[in-house]
Structure 1
Amino acid sequence: MTESKKKELYQKQKKDIEHLFRHGLEEVSPENIVRSAVSLQDDRLTICGRSYALPGDRRIWVFGSGKAAGRMALELETILGKRAYDGIVICPYGLKTPTKRIQQFEAAHPVPDMNSLTATYELVDVASDVQESDLVIYLLSGGSSSLLCMPCEELEFDEVRVLYRQLLQCGAPIGDVNKIRKSISQVKGGKLRAHFGNATVELLAVSDVPGNEPADIGSGPLIDDHVSPGEALELMRKYGIDKKVPPAIVRFLERGGAREDPAYGVSGRTTHTTVVASVEKVAETVRGEAESMGYNTWVDQEFVTGEARLVAKKIAEKAVDVLARDKPAAKPAALIFYGESTVTVTGSGKGGRNQELALSAAMALEGRHCITLLSGGTDGRDGETNAAGAIVNGQSALDAREDGVSPEPYLENNDSHTFFRKTDGLLVTGVTGNNLMDIQIVLVDK
């Protein structure tokens, strides 16, 4: 293949792969999610197939937390109109929407700040006005663990912030991270549910966790999931952070944590939980669009987990199989992966799991022409950067070396963002107002 043909192919693949990613995000936008789950006709409200009569005195409260909460709340208020009585949602900075009846607070992610604390106390206070005859709709999505934050009273907030930072860097899967968070919280693991009393609660959850287990989404504020102090301590030791967090947190857990209030919990209270969107739906949407564009498709049915740089090598091997043997799909092929890898941070660079995965893939695919890979976070933000991820191909590492930018030191220093900023490989979508884990798309041509 001539250099001009190669360049032309990579330009086409880059255009196609970015279109597929953006198309997948649009189909599962917060607005589309709410419209498909909620409808109102006259005095009857239907939520995920469950019907509610709305006599004049029945109040509908809307609460929520997470990256999708702001946009979901705006669409829900549009549907409910004056039927929406009041409520509070907490969303990340920059994702507040202009609701009129539902209050919105902005706070920090992925590490909570004072606004997280203030907003959570305000949400709990407003929830105390909910009556048994009322209906509560709770909009939950990824990011809630940081936004909805009320540590146990025995702990200092700054100590908890240190714990959050260590959890982000230790390489633990999200399920284990959330177990530790639940052990030191007054609102996670189902503890928020009591504040809505005996009112019926409809929980609409946008999943960002493997298996779509509601107890793991946003640390499950409405799903009873008790984590013992001993289990939390064992997990901290397993991932080597028990010596890195403030000693007061370890002592708190060693003493048995907070005393359980029998008034807290979900027992005897009606909560209907529906996972209204997940990364599997994104993957299937991408598959359908890729097929309409003439690609043969294959979707990996196993969640992507593990260290990002190792995951990248496995994905690259699958792409090379297509290139060499037309397996598991014939060329031109679109391979689709989804899940959430991890990064054990040992360097001082800047990046995120998607950019680190893409950088490792660029090295694994070096010289393997006709292959382009995209790794992106559906929230539009990878780590603490302004990029969703990165796009690479078989030429990326070669071109970088020619320009004096060797990829190995950047990978070693967890500095993938700097590498891609220098080599023009960043995938920038802007913050999407959603959160459905990560997706990898690989295009392989003849």
Structure 2
Amino acid sequence: MSRLSPQQVLRRLFDVAVASVKPERLLDHLPPPPAGRTVVIGAGKAAAAMARVLEQAWPGPLSGVVVTRYGHAVPTSRITVLEASHPVPDAAACIAAQRVLDAVRGLTADDLVICLLSGGGSALLSLPAEGISLEDKQQVNRQLLACGAGIDEINAVRKHLSAIKGGRLALACAPARLVTLAISDVVGDDPAVIASGPTVADPSTYADARAVVAKYGLSLPPAAQALLDAEPDETPKPGDTRLAHAEYQLIAAPQIALRAAEAEARRLGYDVLLLGDSIEGEAREVAKVHAGIARQIAAHDLPVARPALILSGGETTVTLKGQGRGGRNGEFLLALAVALNGLPGAYALAADTDGIDGSEDNAGALIAPDTLARSLALGLKAEDCLADHESYGFFSALGDLLLTGPTHTNVNDFRAILLC
């Protein structure tokens, strides 16, 4: 059994999980150099780190441009790295998207395009469709992010208001060979969902986008709604011969990270219950389910015996009704603390593997059996903070935020509950 404290064990497991899905994994998937030019493009929170790994290993000349989130850039020598806003796109994202399209203009069948994609690419590679303004897209994105929609639903709308998403970038690369290397941050690892699938066929339709708008009662800007209603040009669908030059390889995924953490936990002497990488739903409701499993283990040593670890990944959602700060992992932990109510021997960590939970500076946070007692001593009531979605202020006051900085990868959420 490990001599590390429960908090140290949790942090080690998170670090091991992140290390297992670093951009260096792309080195096993590089195509051979072409007869013609090699152009690198990409978008996402890991795009700059992926570009650096690629250019250091590439045997011949190359050029290109990638875009990443502000603060996630790393030094490169041959590939230009741009930064833009996430999760709501800004003018820099539009400029970056145009630069990417310019980089692949005029290529031939002898040329090679390597596209580096990771989570966050949808907002970072943002080019409004004709007739749509950046302000329109920003308004739509804010509504989508606040309504509780799943990422596949969000992206169905984004693709049909975009000039580059949903396979349109792949069309722009033709006739050059296109090889996409992607790090998945979505449940199911669907290429059409990762970064809104700019280089693959899009199974969603304008009708699907309108259905999402209706389901969540969104009020789109008139130009955006008019475009969805008009259906001017549908995205390329599976089987489209125009995508015959495009290939796709997944180099890292959430399950890889969870398996790495599982192996480390077992090495440290913990029995592990791996719930999988496809956990979705409202963060506070997912927390209640995890708390129920934790209580079962604590009371009956079932379905695993203590000392035990519950592991899960995926992407929860938060339907915003309050004015607080914090991301979905903070919300999960706050709700978990309330549901566990000081359960002896129960510790937990939840964090986004990219190092940023929501829009604040923390990856996530940690809880312990004394979390609620310590918060009450500070005049903080967890239930009130949860009602206002104020997880950031709650954990900041306790000194329990998990601060990692950008990790330069992204395989979505990591949740770990220790039962000692």
- TM-score for both structures, normalised by structure 1: 0.90
Distance (Å, rounded) in 1 between the aligned partners of 2:118 and 2:215: 27
Higher relative contact order (Cα pairs below 8 Å, separated by 6+ residues): 2
Partner-residue secondary structure (3-state), 2:396: helix
Amino acid at match of 2:80: Q
Distance (Å, rounded) in 2 between the aligned partners of 1:266 and 1:440: 41
Task: State the number of aligned residues.
Answer: 416
The match for 2:390 among 415, 422, 428 is 415
Distance (Å, rounded) in 2 between the aligned partners of 1:314 and 1:126: 48
Q: 2:297 aligned with 1:322, yes or no?
A: yes
- 2:180 aligned residue: 203
Q: 2:247 aligned with 1:272, yes or no?
A: yes
Q: 2:233 aligned with 1:259, yes or no?
A: yes
Q: Is the 8 A contact 2:68 2:83 kept in 1?
A: yes
Q: Is the 8 A contact 2:348 2:367 kept in 1?
A: yes
Distance 1:366 1:260, change over 3 A: closer
Q: 2:23 aligned with 1:30, yes or no?
A: yes
The match for 1:189 among 148, 155, 166 is 166
- 1:428 aligned residue: 403
Distance (Å, rounded) in 2 between the aligned partners of 1:79 and 1:21: 28
Distance 1:257 1:157, change over 3 A: farther
Q: Is the 8 A contact 2:183 2:250 kept in 1?
A: yes
Deviations 1:426-446 (A, max 9, x none): 11111111111101001111x
Distance 1:392 1:21, change over 3 A: same
Q: Is the 8 A contact 1:371 1:394 kept in 2?
A: yes
Distance (Å, rounded) in 2 between the aligned partners of 1:188 and 1:291: 41
Structure 1, gaps ≥5 residues long: 1-8, 39-46
Partner-residue secondary structure (3-state), 2:15: helix
- 2:105 aligned residue: 128
Mapping 1:35-434, distance limit 5 Å: 35-38=27-30, 47=31, 52=32, 54=33, 57-81=35-59, 83-225=60-202, 227-241=204-218, 243=219, 245-254=220-229, 256-260=230-234, 267=242, 269-301=244-276, 303-434=278-409
Q: Which has the larger radius of gyration?
A: 1
Distance (Å, rounded) in 2 between the aligned partners of 1:415 and 1:439: 20
Q: Is the 8 A contact 2:89 2:123 kept in 1?
A: yes
Q: Is the 8 A contact 1:62 1:89 kept in 2?
A: yes
1:296 deviation in Å?
1.1
Amino acid at match of 2:9: D
1:226 deviation in Å?
5.1
User: Percent identity between the aligned chains?
Assistant: 36
Amino acid at match of 2:233: R
Distance (Å, rounded) in 2 between the aligned partners of 1:226 and 1:310: 30
Distance 1:58 1:192, change over 3 A: same
- Between stretches 266-275 and 216-225, larger displacement belongs to 266-275
Structure 2, gaps ≥5 residues long: none
1:93 deviation in Å?
1.2
Distance (Å, rounded) in 2 between the aligned partners of 1:70 and 1:266: 31
Deviations 1:110-156 (A, max 9, x none): 11111100111111012103221011111111101011111111111
- TM-score for both structures, normalised by structure 2: 0.95
Distance 1:146 1:179, change over 3 A: same
Q: Is the 8 A contact 1:61 1:84 kept in 2?
A: no
Q: 2:12 aligned with 1:12, yes or no?
A: no
Partner-residue secondary structure (3-state), 1:276: strand
Amino acid at match of 2:11: E
